[in-house]
Amino acid sequence: MRAAERLHFGAAADDLHVTQQALSKRVRRLEDALAVQLFVRGPHRVAMTPAGQRFLPRAREILAAADSAVREVGASSRALRVDVLDDRLGSAALLGRVAAADPDLRVEVSMRRSLAAAMAAIERGEIDAALGRVCGVGRPWPVTLDQRVVRLEPLAVLVGIDHPMARREALTPADLTRVGVWVPDPGSAAEWGSYLSCLASHFGFGLRSVPPAASLADLVALIHASRTEVTLIGADMPLPGSTGLRAVPLVDPTPVYPWSLVWPRHPHPLAGALLPRLLAAGGPSPRPARPTIWLPEQDRAAATRVRGGSQDNSPITVDF
């Protein structure tokens, strides 16, 4: 199905998190079983044959019927599939705390790097829920999806231990105007880039892109190599003790990153159990209206915006 939608085996394989070779073999086996050619493969593009075009609508109907049957009789027997975007992020740490506290809550984790990609996967039925920032995803919000803010994660300044700022107990956003901030992964989620742009514009500091940090080790190497640069991370992001870096809290005000749980209007049976557990693990206490916390206005509005025909006006909470 993905190959037919994308008409590019490489892109479809990326979406499905398999190799292009593995996807090509699956398509070839299907063609052999049907005794027809479904795709015309060229050096730069893929096109569907007339037989493939006739087969596609029926295949969609069969898959939809199968998905419906699974939801009706077997959904509760499998793990809840939740996308956390990246295992380095606070979303993974939050879900990990919830799963560890409740072994009966069976969770299967995936990482699609952006909420926009995860939302598309929810709509296709590939996953059951996702964690991410619902603003800045680069597409209109679907009426078929609901969301609820479950965690406001404080940000911290990440510096090398030899950096002058590493000796401070805390920093303010105003301190960043003197140094600017590295953005070590320009290919990262659009919603993170949008948040950083709002933050930098509001407090008047600069952003500079550097080559992508594919791993924590790459990020550590970038910071160590410069000795003068700083970057921002979520305070929930785990850092090994031997990295030679320090995460310095941001205060007066503390910028917080909003993590929402996103799920379809007809959710997996375990999704109802996951939401209150995430809310509890995300932490009660101070409301974001207080002046010591900063959150983009669009995120405040999104917290009570109608989603999928329902509205939730309960206050966002954050735990430091």
Mean pLDDT on 141-151 = 91
Mean pLDDT of 196-205: 95
- Tell how strand 254-264 and strand 293-294 pair up: parallel
Helices (H) and strands (E) in the chain, counts: 10, 12
* pLDDT tens, residue by residue, 59-82: 888 777 766 665 555 555 678 999
Query: What is the rounded CA–CA span in Å between residue 285 and residue 203?
Result: 25
Which tokens belong to 199?
């933050």
What confidence tens digit (pLDDT) does each residue in 107-125 have? Answer: 999 999 899 999 999 999 9
Range among 184-193, 246-255, 298-307 with highest mean pLDDT value:
246-255
Q: What CATH code would you report for 2-73?
A: 1.10.10.10
Least confident of 21-30, 156-165, 263-272, 282-291: 282-291
Cα separation, 288 vs 17, whole angstroms: 37
State if pTM tops 0.85: no
pLDDT higher than threshold 50 for residue 315: no
> Can you give the pLDDT at residue 31?
87
Confidence bin at 320 (pLDDT 50/70/90) = very low
Higher-confidence position of 43 and 310: 43
> Which pLDDT belongs to residue 198?
95
Question: For residue 76, which of 268, 257, 230, 255 has the smallest C-alpha distance?
Answer: 268
> Higher model confidence: residue 22 or residue 131?
131
What pLDDT is attached to residue 212? 61
- 154-254, what's its fold? D-Maltodextrin-Binding Protein; domain 2 (3.40.190)
Of 179-188, 190-199, 269-278, 299-308, which gets the smallest average pLDDT?
Answer: 299-308
For the chain, domain boundaries? 2-73, 76-152+257-302, 154-254
Whether residue 1 contacts residue 26, with contact meaning beta carbons closer than 8 Å, is answered with no
- Given this model, what pLDDT does residue 8 score? 77
With contact defined as beta carbons under 8 Å apart, do 14 and 23 qualify? no
Helix (H, G, I), strand (E, B) or coil at 288: coil
| Model confidence band, residue 178 (pLDDT cutoffs 50, 70, 90) | confident
How many CA atoms are closer than 13 Å to the CA of 270, on its beta-carbon side?
21
Residue 316 has pLDDT above 50, yes or no: no
pLDDT-above-70 percentage for the chain: 80
Which pLDDT value is given to residue 3? 75
Helical residues (DSSP H) of the chain, grouped into ranges: 2-6, 9-16, 20-34, 50-73, 90-101, 115-124, 190-203, 216-226, 271-282, 297-302
Residue written as token pair 């911290």: 156
Q: What whole-number distance in Å separates Cα of residue 78 and Cα of residue 108?
A: 9
Q: What are the φ/ψ torsions at residue 166 (nearest 5 degrees)?
A: -65, -20
> What's the first-to-final CA gap in the chain, in angstroms?
44
- Average pLDDT for 219-232: 76
Instruction: Using the predicted structure, report yes or no on whether residue 312 has a pLDDT greater than 70.
Output: no
In CATH terms, the fold of domain 76-152+257-302 is D-Maltodextrin-Binding Protein; domain 2 (3.40.190)
Per-residue pLDDT, 317: 39
CA distance 130 to 119: 7
Burial degree of 74 (CB within 10 A; 0-12, 13-18, 19+): exposed
Q: 76-152+257-302: same fold as 2-73?
A: no
Does the pLDDT of residue 250 top 90, yes or no? Answer: yes
